[in-house]
């Protein structure tokens, strides 16, 4: 029955789950999305949306809505954290559009989530279940059955497959892919949003700033049409700090002792500073088992040193829909075509994510070099120059799924 069902179940209504719902619906499926939260949070932090991810949002026709509240920074300015001296400036803005055909955006996470959620609600082929926690899922010959806890009672749903987009601490990964628990990266992120009207005139609101220091770095960029500046500072942290919490400005200032005045005056604001332990999911041998498949952070949470976690989830969504969509018109009584589609998705995405993982590890080492070698790095970046540093990211930002675009038309 269900192997020929057009229904796909998705656990998790984060950026990956919502994008997957839209992509799968466009590919011809009916989709049920289960999100354990009662609604979409209006608080949150920033996200960089590079052209590779934006290309998928553009195919879904929601890039304009995303751009409405986003900012396209003119450049990424690399700065030495202690001296405050400029290292180099990587051109974005018009340079990104010229190079990649699309802008490099920075957004408030909640704004992106709202755009995705509103597109999902407008789509008659998608049902969004809020306050609905996927407790269990079983793959069988006819597809998949999920047990969902809603309003104090459990219900069963069946479908062709279940996409586990339930984040780094995925329940489905734990149940069906034992031995692949997330590991602490040894780092934590401080995050805060500073209202623009409280910033001094000297603070830059046009670019993304990245400060580099031994064992730490920080990033700041404007969001919500420049009405806020999003600040993220990454420092070493003990593995036993496993929950996010709210900290004071004083603690934040202590964590970034000795950094330059521009950065310290930025963090010397009495805003809600949150402290997030950073987890990652180690490389897995495959992301599908029977009719269960992992996507986004559930499959490959990576530390944010290349700002690509959500982008990889968005790419996953399109590639999964591409391969599954091609099974729709096949008589697939045994489920062989679906299995092959999931295997293709897994192979294709694992190769891409592995390369992003390598970039992430390299960035962590380069950004956090100790002082004497850090000075050599700064000189090296200056000599290479911002334009060539951008060019080195072509493989990442030029990624497109022309096949998915063709299949949608
Ligand atoms: C400091 C920091 C900065 C970052 N910056 C960037 C950046 O600039 N660019 C970028 O691309 N990425 C960035 N990332 C990574 C990005 O935030 C994540 O990769 C992305 O949010 C993952 O999305 P997801 O939908 O896969 O998972 P999640 O966002 O974790 O969503 C999972 C969803 O599933 C729900 N859920 C969980 N369990 C269940 C269940 N059992 N049943 C139902 N629902 C469930 C959760 O409530 C949640 O809504 C950053 C990450 C950090 C920590």
Tell me: the pLDDT tens digits for 83-95? 999 999 999 999 9
User: Domain range for residue 63?
Assistant: 2-182+281-408
- The CB density around residue 31, as the number of other CB atoms within 10 Å, is 26
H-helix or E-strand containing 114?
Answer: helix 109-122
In the reported structure, the alpha carbon of residue 384 is separated from the centroid of ligand 1 by a whole-number distance in angstroms of 34
Task: Kindly state if the Cβ of 309 falls inside 6 Å of ligand 1.
Answer: yes
Q: Please report the pLDDT score of residue 204 as a whole number.
A: 83
Tally: H helices and E strands in the chain: 15, 19
Q: Please report the pLDDT score of residue 329 as a whole number.
A: 80
Joined together, the tokens standing for residue 74 give: 């003119």
Q: What's the first-to-final CA gap in the chain, in angstroms?
A: 29
Joined together, the tokens standing for residue 21 give: 């719902």
Out of 239-243, 294-298, 342-346, 363-367, least confident range: 239-243
Q: What's the structural domain count of the chain?
A: 1
CATH, residue 129: 3.50.50.60
For a ligand 1 pocket test, name from 276, 297, 315, 349 the mutation site with the most ligand atoms within 8 angstroms of its C-beta: 297
Nearest CA to ligand 1 atom 35: 12
Residue 80 lies in a domain: yes
Q: Please report the pLDDT score of residue 202 as a whole number.
A: 73
Nearest CA to ligand 1 atom 45: 12
Mean pLDDT for the stretch of residues 179-194: 94
For a ligand 1 pocket test, name from 309, 313, 353, 399 the mutation site with the most ligand atoms within 8 angstroms of its C-beta: 309
> Is it the case that residue 81 has pLDDT exceeding 80?
yes
Atom of ligand 1 nearest to the CA of 309: 19
Mean pLDDT for the stretch of residues 298-316: 97
Task: Kindly state if the Cβ of 177 falls inside 6 Å of ligand 1.
Answer: no
Report how far residue 401's alpha carbon sits from residue 399's, in angstroms, rounded to the nearest whole number.
7
Q: Please report the pLDDT score of residue 240 as a whole number.
A: 65
> Is it the case that residue 1 has pLDDT exceeding 50?
no
Q: What is the pLDDT of residues 334-393, one digit of tens each?
A: 678 999 999 999 999 999 999 999 999 999 999 999 999 999 999 999 999 999 999 999
Say which residue the tokens 């046009």 belong to: 206
Q: Please report the pLDDT score of residue 241 as a whole number.
A: 61
Helix 309-325 to helix 336-367 angle, to the nearest 10 degrees? Answer: 160
Q: Please report the pLDDT score of residue 183 as a whole number.
A: 94
Nearest CA to ligand 1 atom 52: 304
Task: Kindly state if the Cβ of 37 falls inside 6 Å of ligand 1.
Answer: yes
Residue 12 lies in a domain: yes
Q: Please report the pLDDT score of residue 92 as a whole number.
A: 98
Distance of CA 168 to the CA centre of its chain: 11
Q: Please report the pLDDT score of residue 3 as a whole number.
A: 59
Nearest CA to ligand 1 atom 17: 310
Residue 378 lies in a domain: yes
Nearest CA to ligand 1 atom 29: 14
Q: Which residues pair with 134 in a beta bridge?
A: 148
Kindly give, in sequence order, each residue whose CB lies less than 8 Å from that of residue 300, ignoring residues fewer than 6 positions away. Answer: 281, 283, 284, 287, 312, 353, 357
Kindly give, in sequence order, each residue whose CB lies less than 8 Å from that of residue 225, ignoring residues fewer than 6 positions away. Answer: 69, 70, 71
> Is it the case that residue 126 has pLDDT exceeding 60?
yes
Mean pLDDT of all residues belonging to the chain? 94
Nearest CA to ligand 1 atom 28: 167
Residue 332 lies in a domain: yes
Residue 58 lies in a domain: yes
Task: Kindly state if the Cβ of 211 falls inside 6 Å of ligand 1.
Answer: no
Mean pLDDT for the stretch of residues 177-190: 94
Greater confidence, 157 or 243?
A: 157
Nearest CA to ligand 1 atom 21: 310
Residue 261 lies in a domain: no
Residue 227 lies in a domain: no
Task: Kindly state if the Cβ of 310 falls inside 6 Å of ligand 1.
Answer: yes
In the reported structure, the alpha carbon of residue 188 is separated from the centroid of ligand 1 by a whole-number distance in angstroms of 15
Atom of ligand 1 nearest to the CA of 18: 25
In the reported structure, the alpha carbon of residue 297 is separated from the centroid of ligand 1 by a whole-number distance in angstroms of 6
Task: Kindly state if the Cβ of 274 falls inside 6 Å of ligand 1.
Answer: no
Greater confidence, 406 or 361?
A: 361
Mean pLDDT for the stretch of residues 323-330: 90
Greater confidence, 239 or 7?
A: 7
Residue 226 lies in a domain: no
H-helix or E-strand containing 109?
Answer: helix 109-122
Q: What is the pLDDT of residues 172-181, one digit of tens each?
A: 999 999 999 9
Q: Is the pTM of this model over 0.85?
A: yes
In the reported structure, the alpha carbon of residue 197 is separated from the centroid of ligand 1 by a whole-number distance in angstroms of 29
């Amino acid at each position: 029955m269900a192997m020929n069902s057009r229904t796909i179940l998705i656990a998790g209504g984060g950026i990956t789950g919502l994008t997957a719902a839209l992509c799968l619906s466009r590919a011809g499926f009916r989709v049920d999305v289960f999100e354990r939260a009662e609604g979409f949070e209006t608080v949150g932090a920033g996200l960089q949306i590079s052209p590779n991810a934006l290309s998928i949002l553009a195919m879904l026709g929601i890039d304009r809505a995303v751009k409405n509240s986003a900012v396209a920074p003119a450049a990424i300015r690399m700065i030495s954290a202690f001296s405050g001296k400029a290292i180099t400036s990587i051109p974005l803005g018009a340079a990104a559009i010229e190079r990649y055909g699309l802008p490099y955006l920075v957004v408030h996470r909640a704004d992106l989530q709202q755009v995705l959620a509103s597109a999902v609600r407008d789509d008659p082929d998608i049902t969004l279940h809020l306050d609905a926690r996927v407790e269990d899922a079983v793959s069988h010959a006819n597809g998949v059955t999920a047990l969902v806890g809603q309003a104090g009672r459990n219900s069963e749903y069946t479908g062709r497959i279940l996409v586990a987009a339930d984040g780094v601490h995925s329940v489905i990964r734990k149940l069906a892919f034992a031995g692949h628990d997330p590991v602490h990266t040894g780092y934590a992120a401080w995050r805060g949003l500073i209202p623009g009207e409280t910033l001094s005139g000297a603070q830059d609101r046009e670019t993304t700033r990245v400060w580099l220091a031994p064992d730490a770095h920080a990033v700041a960029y404007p969001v919500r049409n420049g009405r806020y500046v999003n600040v993220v500072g990454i420092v070493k942290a003990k593995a036993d700090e496993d929950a996010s919490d709210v900290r004071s400005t004083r603690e934040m200032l202590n964590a970034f002792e000795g950094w330059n005045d521009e950065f310290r005056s930025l963090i010397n604001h009495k805003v809600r500073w949150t402290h997030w332990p950073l987890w990652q999911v180690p490389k897995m041998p495959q992301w599908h088992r029977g009719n269960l498949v992992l996507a986004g952070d559930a499959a490959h949470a990576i530390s944010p040193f290349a700002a690509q976690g959500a982008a990889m989830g968005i790419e996953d969504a399109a590639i999964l829909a591409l391969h599954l969509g091609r099974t729709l018109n096949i008589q697939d009584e045994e489920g062989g075509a679906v299995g092959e589609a999931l295997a293709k998705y897994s192979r294709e995405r694992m190769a891409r994510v592995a390369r992003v993982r390598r970039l992430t590890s390299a960035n962590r080492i380069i950004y956090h070099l100790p002082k004497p070698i850090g000075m050599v790095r700064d000189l090296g970046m200056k000599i290479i120059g911002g334009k060539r540093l951008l060019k080195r990211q072509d493989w990442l930002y030029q990624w497109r799924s022309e096949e998915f675009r063709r299949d949608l038309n």
